Amino acid sequence: MTFLNLFLHSNIRNKTAIGVQALQKQGAKSIGVDISVDAQGAAEGAILGQFSFDKLKQKKNDDADNNKVVAPYATESSTDLKRAWEIGQIYGTSQNVARMLMTTPANLMTPKLFAEEVAYLLAGLENVDIKVHDEEWATRQKMNAFLSVARGSTEPLRFLEIHYKGAKDNSEKPFGLVGKGITFDSGGISLKPSNNMHLMKGDMGGAAAVVGALYGICKLHLPVNIVAAIPLCENMPSGKATKPGDVVKAMNGKSIEILNTDAEGRLILADALHYVSSTYQPKHVIDLATLTGAMDVALGEVYAGVFSNSDDLWAKLQNAGEAVADPFWRMPLHEDYIKEMKNSLVADLGNIGTRSGGSCSAAGFLQEFVDKNVPWAHIDIAGVMACNGTKGYHIKGMTGRPTRALIEMMRTAQA
């Protein structure tokens, strides 16, 4: 896709959202959307532009009135255009599912409640099997890195395992998805500053995007098999919390010195990545995580950063991101980034490296826990987790990105 086309399709999403928002403020009950140029993009913009989270407010937002109708029109409304509109609606709704999960306050979206919400969202959809594992199961699996993060909270951990079998051959190898599910991140003993700590209810953005993508994939009945793993817990300080200097042994047998308890996301992902890649040997595995502030510094709100050991997997992600105006930028993987981590005096790895290249060293850490024969990509979504101001279909607050890009990638996976 050329830059001109990418700009055009992104602009259609944005202008459609702005138009729908403006007309709804004027009290319009029925809105027609021109779908002659890009029906799917217009539908995505219309759905995304209407997102609001006011269910906890005494006075609800009138713009969210269910009686309002937003429908397509075109001079030649063909079957293909109508189908593209329907697909765009599913894409937009799927991202709004992720937004809803991320926006819900942490006291109403604990690991247990997250698992229950996902079971409700996916209930009744075809070819889906949901397994909710508890602490006893994680202990049997020797997921000690995951368990070490959950120790400080009174909220019980959960490990969601979701199987979608849409391929004609159920024995066909699945694609793997792993989402970081820290439902609130205080930093643990390495306590974060209080400023903006409330945003850490969105530290399960990777998990939310995986769930949103699965919702869309199920709705579209895509002919693929997928296994998703979502480790869920809080990272809290307490008398039982993991301390800086503690050493734990991850599921793959590597010992980790916890130098900073606020570098917790990589710990829960380490066990989840090893579990998925070694148990199911997927065609590829992608993990998503609000992992490092360094990624926000590097790329801001525009691109999500991608680290991958596979040029082919990167190309598929890049193309999918461009197709739905949810772009990625490739970042470097190099062994030098984790040299410092391997210099621990008491363990195989420390959980942090030097300050420089923080996103790169975090990605290098994760690579140590992925089966070497499995193509893998790590998407750091810390920069795109939240939007600071409403700009068309980019609504202020939690974004739910890159849900649509994941769906698009799976939709074109067999092409």
**Per-residue pLDDT at 68:** 72
Burial class of 316 by CB neighbour count within 10 A (0 to 12, 13 to 18, 19+) = buried
Instruction: Give catalytic status of residue 411 as yes or no.
Output: no
**Per-residue pLDDT at 69:** 84
Which of 267, 279, 241, 410 lies closest to 350, judged by CA? 267
State the pTM of this model. Answer: 0.95
Question: What's the Rg (C-alpha) of the chain?
Answer: 21
Please answer whether residues 221 and 414 qualify as being in contact, where contact means their C-beta atoms are separated by less than 8 angstroms: no
* The one catalytic residue among 151, 165, 266, 411: 266
Residue 375 CB-half CA count within 13 A = 13
Q: List alpha helices for 123-204, DSSP H.
A: 135-140, 144-150
Judged by DSSP in three states, 64 sits in: helix
**pLDDT in single tens digits along all 415 residues of the chain:** 544 455 566 799 999 999 999 998 998 989 999 898 899 999 999 999 999 999 999 876 654 555 578 998 866 668 889 999 999 999 999 999 999 999 999 999 999 999 999 999 999 899 999 999 999 999 999 999 999 999 999 999 999 999 999 999 888 999 999 999 999 999 999 999 999 999 999 999 999 999 999 999 999 999 999 999 999 999 999 999 999 999 999 999 999 999 999 999 999 999 999 999 999 999 999 999 999 999 999 999 999 999 999 999 999 999 999 999 999 999 999 999 999 999 999 999 999 998 899 999 999 999 999 999 999 999 999 999 999 988 899 999 999 999 999 999 999 976 5
CB within 8 A of 151, min separation 6: which ones? 240, 241, 242
Ordered by where they begin, the domains of the chain are 3-90 (3.40.220.10), 105-411 (3.40.630.10)
Instruction: Give catalytic status of residue 192 as yes or no.
Output: yes
Q: What is the H or E stretch that residue 15 is in?
A: helix 3-25
Judged by DSSP in three states, 361 sits in: helix
Q: List alpha helices for 326-370, DSSP H.
A: 358-367
Which of 309, 299, 307 lies closest to 385, judged by CA? 299
Distance CA 223, CA 390 (A): 35
* The one catalytic residue among 82, 173, 192, 249: 192
Please answer whether residues 94 and 404 qualify as being in contact, where contact means their C-beta atoms are separated by less than 8 angstroms: yes
Q: Which tokens belong to 146?
A: 């995951």
**Per-residue pLDDT at 413:** 79
